Amino acid sequence: MLRLVLEYDGSDFHGWQAQPSVRTVEGVLREALRQVTGESPRLSAAGRTDAGAHSHGQVVGVPLVREWEAERLSSALNAVLPGDVAVRHAEPARDDFNARYDALNRTYRYVVVSRRERAPLLRRHAWQVSGDLDAAAMRAACALLVGRHDFAAFGRSPREGGSTVRTVERAEVRRVTAPVADEIPAHVIEVSADAFLYGMMRAVAGALVAVGRGRMSVEDVAAMLDGPTDRATVTVAPARGLHQWSVTYPAAPAAETNT
């Protein structure tokens, strides 16, 4: 078994999971593995990113019949993978490793650009909103997410009838300048949790941006956590601003997959 860490620009993918007739990250990785190894292994992934979302640290478990030296396989895969996906790191893993179920926590980042003029250089990797955002209000609302809550108002369980309770270990909003141009203001919403519901991070980003624009209050976010009955009617942020950042596993010393 090998553990791969992938980086990809999700703009031209229909998400992670392999699907017939559409281009997916899992699909192109499977094809690369077939070309390099001649095998078609059943893969496990830390998360199923949405169509258009990106990853800096997607972890994939790859069970192969033939033994491969990790660095050699990584180099061979990168030689045949398309330019919008790459293997950043590869290492041996135990035979029963599962990238999804063995993860301790996951970290996502969401990037919001606040500028009235269009920002074409960032259009594939950030959500642009017009005008300034109230960063203090966004931080106050974001702080409420930390702890163990029922996040039913922000997403749905990956299993029918499954629990919507999740534990958020860290949540913050940082004001930064976009790396391509210092004058472009941006906000990075970063959340680390034991697991995420489907759509949870994009709904969180949508709610926090609504608070920053004065369209929701901090109290509204608190109410969504206190007594959720169904999916909240907040604007779900577009997938292009979502970045799967890292996944942490119990096996040190290389537990953090994105540094």
Q: How far apart are the first and last CA of the chain?
A: 23
Name the residue among 51, 52, 47, 91 with its Cα closest to residue 71. Answer: 91
CA pair distance 45, 43, nearest whole angstrom: 7
The residue written with tokens 């791969």 in the block is 4
Residues in binding site for substrate: 108
pLDDT by residue for the chain (259 residues), tens only, comes to: 999 999 999 999 999 999 989 999 999 999 999 999 999 999 999 999 999 999 999 999 999 999 999 999 999 999 999 999 999 999 999 999 999 999 999 999 999 998 777 777 788 899 999 888 999 999 999 999 999 999 999 998 888 888 999 999 999 999 887 665 556 788 999 999 999 999 999 999 999 999 999 999 999 999 998 776 555 567 899 999 999 999 999 864 444 455 3
**Reported pTM:** 0.90
- φ/ψ of 103, rounded to 5, equals -70, 135
Name the residue among 160, 148, 153, 138 with its Cα closest to residue 227. Answer: 153
Residues in binding site: 108
Q: 77 and 6 in contact (C-beta within 8 Å)?
A: no
Strand 85-92 relative to strand 165-177: parallel, antiparallel, unpaired? unpaired
Domains defined along the chain, listed by start: 2-102 (3.30.70.580), 105-246 (3.30.70.660)
> What are the start-end ranges of the E strands in 115-180?
127-129, 147-150, 165-177
Active site residues per annotation: 50
- Residue 154 DSSP code: G
